[in-house]
Amino acid sequence: MIPVKFDYLAPTSVEEALAALGEHGDEAKILAGGQSLLPVLRMRLNAPEVVIDLGGISSLRGIRDDGDAIVIGAMTTHHDVRDHALVHEHALLLSKAAAEVADAQIRHRGTFGGALAHADPAGDLGAPALALGAQFVIQGPGGSRTVEAADFFVDLFETAIGEDEILTEVRIPKHTGWGAHYEKFVRVAHQWPIVAVAATVKGSIDEARVGLTNMGSTPLRASATEAALAGATATEEGVREAAELAAEGTNPPSDLNGAADYRQHLARVLTARAVLKAAGA
Amino acid sequence: MTATQDRPAAEIGKDRRRKEDQRLITGRTRWTDNITLPGMLHLAMVRSPFAHASITSVDVEAAKASPNVVAVLSGKDFGAELGVCINAWPITPDQKTPNHSPMPADRVAFAGEIVAVVVARSAAEARDAAELVDVEYDELPAVIGIKNALKDEVLAHPDLGTNKSALWVFDSNEVGTGSDVEAAIETARTDGIVIEREYRQQRLIPAFMEPRSVVVDPTGEQITMWSATQIPHILRFALAATTGVPESKIRVIAPDVGGGFGGKLQTTPEEWIAWAVARRLSKPVKYTETRSESLMAAHHGRDQVQTLTLAADKDGKVTGLKVHLDADLGAYIAVVGGGVPVLGAFMFNAIYKFPSYRFECQTVLTNTTFTDAYRGAGRPEATYAIERLMDELAAEVGVDPLEIRERNWITHEEFPFTTVAGLEYDTGNYEAATAKARESFGYDALRAEQKERRDRGDRVQLGIGVSTFTEMCGLAPSRVLGSLDYGAGGWEHASVRMLATGKVEIVTGASAHGQGHETAFSQIVADRLGVPFEDVEVLHGDTQIAHKGLDTYGSRSLVVGGEALVRAVDKVIDKAKHLAAHLLEASEDDLEYKGGRFTVAGTDQGVAIQELATAAFAAHNYPEDMEPSLDADATYDPVNFNYPHGTHLCAMEVDTETGAVKMRKYTCCDDIGVIINPLIVAGQVHGGLVQGIAQALWEEAVHDDAGTLVSGSFVDYLLPTSADTISFDVVHTDEPSVCTTNTLGTKGVGEAGTIASTPAVVNAVVDAIRHLGINDIQMPCTPERVWRAIQGSKAGGATETPPDAMPHFAEGEANQQSHEGALDQDGAGQ
Ligand SMILES: Cc1cc2nc3c(=O)[nH]c(=O)nc-3n(C[C@H](O)[C@H](O)[C@H](O)COP(=O)(O)OP(=O)(O)OC[C@H]3O[C@@H](n4cnc5c(N)ncnc54)[C@H](O)[C@@H]3O)c2cc1C
């Protein structure tokens, strides 16, 4: 498959990339790992005149400790997120979810920032980011701003990133020592989730954060479940009862892999499983 | 000369690594798409987004003005030289067959049908310009789905007056191979068991690895077509028959071909268009499809509704089987389209002694991609139906599914056995295969675990599925094909060329596309001729080299092509013997042939066949009554099909909370006669199993009501990978029942795994949850279907899930807004 012809730019700094973005406006598209953008171009569902590759901007790559948070550069690959010691220690949930993205080849190419900016409602990283209260650092012509996870995901494939802006890094508040599990439900291994549940819990259980993947047009929090779990004991019965609330307020799609009511059922079952595993129960 | 004594005692039975794999796996070889000819032009197709529409106008001006575009042609620009796509197997004399133009000028009948072709200097420019072709359509009502088609309210081809193409019937009572099935059912209704079921064979997509590609070079005396095809010989014949070019002016080459599974057993609109364009422009052209095009417009497989009635006595001895198939041909009757379900007619009775049998097949036309052969072609569908029914019968009688089969199967003493469908099975030993499979599987332990989980009410239930299959393969005795009105024979041809240096070239009319013929055929020749394996070269797939042949499909290459080869080799040995006697000044009667050498009995005098090849080349000294050549040809027409069989056992775990299914163990014991290369056989069995399991669990081509293929990418058409399957337990019977109708004693294995595995898996899934009141899950057994069946809301887990794709690559989503050209002209681009 052959995309429509485009110009290719490879800036070496964020400033240069922003300038190119400013110059070409909505005729330009940012290229991160290309794992979502290239299929779209090759299927000719989109045809930007200019593609701006962030691959040459080394400052966008890597993970660092920043006091009460860890900071993940937008161009850090899924593979690196999965394996990084800081992620293991302070945001285990992200490591678990990154491990479930697609297959090894795609994890070595696809990026954390690219996946979140792409905002596929079935993407595996949105729900954990939301559950962990991630903060998105977005840079534009006028400088940097930080957007809370709850405000970042706007709709299907739509985020708070403006047309002239770039997502540079994501701050993840430390959840040191929290148990975590990402329960992904698929029919074949390399698939996007039909439904997935991201759960991370402190103790057993002082506090719980539960994110839902593919249960609406954006990642969602299972707030009612979280409330019911806070201060509860991690017994199978108790968790299952709390998980019964997981589908409240969700609006999942219906497609070849399942109708909405089935997805809601899955959300409840998978929430119980994810929380129990996260709590080590 | 190589010392023939040094070679291993026997090649046959040896785990030879495939000699073709180095080049196939590294890609350092000639695939059609990497053929580049001087001045070559590239084609892009403009395809209809509508399932049924009149073409009101085709505006090609903008496309013509696009950079480096040489021509833009639509249906009305061609005359008779475009030819037609043929149906080589009209199943009844009154079959309704729509005219199938490679590029219709007036009306399209499925989404993906070609309406125009762009010719440009590069593939990218052709594709860019294809988006600028502005086609106006008047949409017509489309008929999608077998049941809608049968109503004859909306017609796929209004001029035919009906969607019903042909009704093909076999009745054992009429033919004299059995009694009256209606009487058997009647009796069973009052005094026995009647099982009535409707099973759905969902539509599948062959999904070969290498997309289809064609290159045509019209320069030179013969017009040459390279095509990623399974059938270069049939292709050449069809081009000659339909485009007015004499056969002698056509050369077809199937270079290395990356898989087919029946999906490249076709003569395609794309080939015909490339042919016509190259001839029109007098320039070489190339067309390679995209994966999206391949999924949408290369032929699909299966797609049947099976209405089944099984009658048995109270002990579960079957007294009759009645089968009614409704089979979806799609929009046109492809090369063997209607014949595929008919092939199943001979296999519904499987390994059993049924006293009465009736089979009807109603083919219907719909506004969908045309269907044709897909691995197993007719036989997986039949095997699925009967093996599902036998499990249902066992449940009804209350005995183990293996027991119910034993009560009905042909025992090994009863061979040769003429079945109720009229075939003569030469050999088989179902008892031996079942005993071995049962042991290797650990049947009793798994049954005990199943009971334990059931008693405990475990969330995860275990089920065991059985499939004791047989198949007819080695297509096919030409007279049988003639009696079925098939348009060709089923023989195969081989040549052996003894080269001057003693090396050997063999030429086969079979056309390998991943099977490993070069290795297996070399092993056969090495043993039979007595030359080293390394000295044998296998040539195929080029009509200038392999001038006669009927290609590769239907598990035929070894059992038919291999036999032709054996016969050609034997002729070479006969000629060589004559020459040897002359040179050794001995009588032919005193010569012994062993290990590639003729020796004079009782002396140390002898000569190697490779030396004789050199002597024949030099031709300085040879008998008066012989030509100076050892080369020989043979054309072999099989006298019967052959009948591999096997017992497949599958254990599936079903998560009753989510409906998810997981394979726990899979054992198959296949009896395929003599095995030439166990490694190749294992590869065929493993790959075949995965394809059959994929039908049971994952794959389904879905069209929406408008006729758009929803499962149009691998995001939604779920092809499994190695991560989704387990390591299979593949065993064979200790004493194979050797095929009696060919010299080597071999039976086909190319389709066995696919044919056997689908019912084993579904039987296991159903078995896991039968105690919850479930007796069917529709394929593919998605978690949702299983869950719904457990909920009891819908029989068979049927769902009304909207036929929608996941939105990853949906048009017009925020992150992938449409662009000018691609989408705003009635979807004329893709
Ligand atoms: C076969 C396959 C299977 C997959 N399966 C899964 C799966 O199971 N789970 C899953 O979560 N994902 C899956 N993916 C998607 C994968 O995770 C992608 O890597 C990810 O969605 C996009 O990341 P990327 O770096 O490749 O971004 P790209 O494809 O390069 O870009 C994606 C989009 O984001 C924009 N963008 C990228 N970076 C930035 C930035 N810094 N600032 C602003 N905009 C930006 C781009 O312009 C583009 O629109 C799969 C992909 C494929 C091809």
Cα of A138 vs its chain's centroid, Å: 15
Is residue A169 domain-resident? yes
Mean pLDDT confidence for B785-811: 69
Nearest CA in chain B to A158: B814
Do B223 and B250 contact (CB within 8 A), yes or no? yes
Beta pairing class for B606-608 and B632-636: unpaired
Q: Atom 10 in ligand 1: which residue has the minimum CA distance?
A: A123
Substitution target in A37, A106, A183, A188 with the highest count of B β-carbons within 10 Å is A188
Tell me what pLDDT residue B809 has.
Answer: 64
Residue B317 pLDDT > 60, yes or no? Answer: yes
Is residue B121 domain-resident? no
Give the atom of ligand 1 at the shortest distance from the alpha carbon of A117: 34
Mean pLDDT confidence for B103-123: 98
Q: Residue B684: how many CB atoms within 10 A of its CB?
A: 24
Residue A65 and residue A52 share a domain: no
Average pLDDT, chain B: 94
Phi and psi, residue A266, nearest 5°: -60, -40
Q: pLDDT tens, B323-373? A: 999 999 999 999 999 999 999 999 999 999 999 999 999 999 999 999 999
Ligand 1 center to A114 CA (angstroms):
5
Is residue B824 domain-resident? no
- With a Cβ cut-off of 6 Å, ligand 1 is lined by A 29-37, 39, 54, 74, 101-102, 106, 110-111, 113-115, 117-118, 120, 123-125, 161, 166-167, 190, 192; B 815
Is residue B559 domain-resident? yes
Tell me what pLDDT residue B820 has.
Answer: 40
Q: pLDDT-based confidence at B1, cuts 50/70/90? A: very low
Q: Do A1 and B292 touch (CB under 8 A)?
A: yes
Residue B826 pLDDT > 70, yes or no? Answer: no
Q: Does B375 touch chain A (CB under 8 A)?
A: no
Q: Does A108 touch chain B (CB under 8 A)?
A: no
Q: pLDDT-based confidence at A147, cuts 50/70/90? A: very high
Ligand 1 center to B46 CA (angstroms):
30
Q: Atom 38 in ligand 1: which residue has the minimum CA distance?
A: A114
Shortest distance, CA B561 to any CA of chain A (angstroms): 37
Distance, in Å, from the CA atom of B296 to the CA atom of B504, rounded to the nearest integer, reads 43
- Measured between beta carbons, the chain B residues lying within 8 angstroms of A192 are 715, 806, 808
Tell me what pLDDT residue B810 has.
Answer: 60
Is residue A1 domain-resident? no
Residue A43 and residue A130 share a domain: no
Q: Do B805 and A265 touch (CB under 8 A)?
A: no
Residue B801 pLDDT > 70, yes or no? Answer: no
Q: pLDDT-based confidence at B792, cuts 50/70/90? A: confident
Query: Which residues have C-beta within 8 Å of that of residue B54, sequence separation ≥ 6?
Result: B106, B107, B137, B138, B140
Q: Does A6 touch chain B (CB under 8 A)?
A: no
Q: Atom 33 in ligand 1: which residue has the minimum CA distance?
A: A118
Distance, in Å, from the CA atom of B298 to the CA atom of B293, rounded to the nearest integer, reads 7
Is residue A16 domain-resident? yes
CATH number where A126 lies: 3.30.465.10
Tell me what pLDDT residue B761 has.
Answer: 98
Residue A125 and residue A90 share a domain: yes
Substitution target in B658, B661, B830 with the highest count of A β-carbons within 10 Å is B658
Tell me what pLDDT residue B142 has.
Answer: 98
Residue B811 pLDDT > 60, yes or no? Answer: no
Do B689 and B728 contact (CB within 8 A), yes or no? yes
Peptide bond into B476 cis (omega under 30): yes
Residue A164 and residue A67 share a domain: yes
Is residue A261 domain-resident? yes
Tell me what pLDDT residue B828 has.
Answer: 35
Q: Give which of B193, B60, B178 is closest to B120, Cα–Cα.
A: B60
Q: pLDDT tens, B285-314? A: 999 999 999 999 999 999 999 999 999 999
Is residue B500 domain-resident? yes
Tell me what pLDDT residue A162 has.
Answer: 96
Q: pLDDT tens, A148-198? A: 999 999 999 999 999 999 999 999 999 999 999 999 999 999 899 999 999
Shortest distance, CA B207 to any CA of chain A (angstroms): 16
Calculate the alpha carbon distances from B665 to A81, B423, B443, B648 in Å.
Answer: 35, 34, 10, 11
Judge residue A6's burial from the number of C-beta atoms within 10 Å of its C-beta, 0-12 exposed, 13-18 middle, 19 or more buried. middle
Q: pLDDT tens, A63-118? A: 999 999 999 999 999 999 999 999 999 999 999 999 999 999 999 999 999 999 99
Shortest distance, CA A15 to any CA of chain B (angstroms): 23
Domain enclosing residue B626, as ranges: 21-28+491-636
- Measured between beta carbons, the chain B residues lying within 8 angstroms of A262 are 784, 787-788
Residue A183 and residue A168 share a domain: no
Residue B341's H or E segment, with its range, is: helix B339-343
Ligand 1 center to B49 CA (angstroms):
28
Q: Do A36 and B808 touch (CB under 8 A)?
A: yes
Domain stops at, among A173, A196, A229: A173
Residue A81 and residue A31 share a domain: no
Edge-to-edge strand ranges of the sheet holding B606-608 = B591-594, B597-600, B606-608
Query: Which residues have C-beta within 8 Å of that of residue A218, sequence separation ≥ 6?
Result: A119, A121, A126, A153, A154, A155, A156
Query: Which residues have C-beta within 8 Å of that of residue B355, sequence separation ≥ 6?
Result: B178, B179, B184, B318, B319, B320, B420
Is residue B722 domain-resident? no
% pLDDT > 70, chain B: 95
- Give SS3 for B281: helix
Is residue B558 domain-resident? yes
Is residue B205 domain-resident? no
Q: Domain total for chain A?
A: 3
Q: Do B784 and A258 touch (CB under 8 A)?
A: yes
CATH number where B591 lies: 3.30.365.10
Q: pLDDT tens, B199-250? A: 999 999 999 999 999 999 999 999 999 999 999 999 999 999 999 999 999 9
Q: pLDDT tens, B737-750? A: 999 999 999 999 99
Is residue B622 domain-resident? yes
Binding-face residues of A in 128-187 toward B, CB within 8 A: 155-158, 185, 187
Q: Does A43 touch chain B (CB under 8 A)?
A: yes
Which is it for the CA torsion A114, A120, A124, A130, positive or negative?
positive
Q: Domain total for chain B?
A: 1
Q: DSSP E strands: which ranges in B366-444? A: 417-418, 424-425
Residue A190 and residue A165 share a domain: no
- Give the pair of three-digit tokens for residue B148: 């809608």
Q: pLDDT tens, A220-269? A: 999 999 999 999 898 999 999 999 999 999 999 999 999 999 999 999 99
Residue B70 pLDDT > 90, yes or no? Answer: yes
Nearest CA in chain A to B660: A187
Tell me what pLDDT residue A281 has.
Answer: 76
Residue A93 and residue A79 share a domain: yes
Calculate the alpha carbon distances from B561 to B228, B553, B592, B601 in Å.
Answer: 20, 11, 27, 34
- Measured between beta carbons, the chain B residues lying within 8 angstroms of A110 are none
- Give the pair of three-digit tokens for residue A175: 């959840």
Phi and psi, residue B406, nearest 5°: -60, -35
Is residue A2 domain-resident? no
Residue A221 and residue A144 share a domain: no
ipTM of the complex: 0.96
Tell me what pLDDT residue B757 has.
Answer: 98
Q: Does B821 touch chain A (CB under 8 A)?
A: yes
Domain enclosing residue A115, as ranges: 58-173
Distance, in Å, from the CA atom of B182 to the CA atom of B199, rounded to the nearest integer, reads 20
Tell me what pLDDT residue B804 has.
Answer: 73
Tell me what pLDDT residue B823 has.
Answer: 35
CATH number where A42 lies: 3.30.43.10
Q: pLDDT tens, B10-50? A: 999 999 999 999 999 998 999 999 999 999 999 999 999 99
Residue A67 and residue A51 share a domain: no
Q: Do B804 and A190 touch (CB under 8 A)?
A: no
Residue A269 and residue A188 share a domain: yes
Residue A116 and residue A204 share a domain: no
Residue B822 pLDDT > 50, yes or no? Answer: no
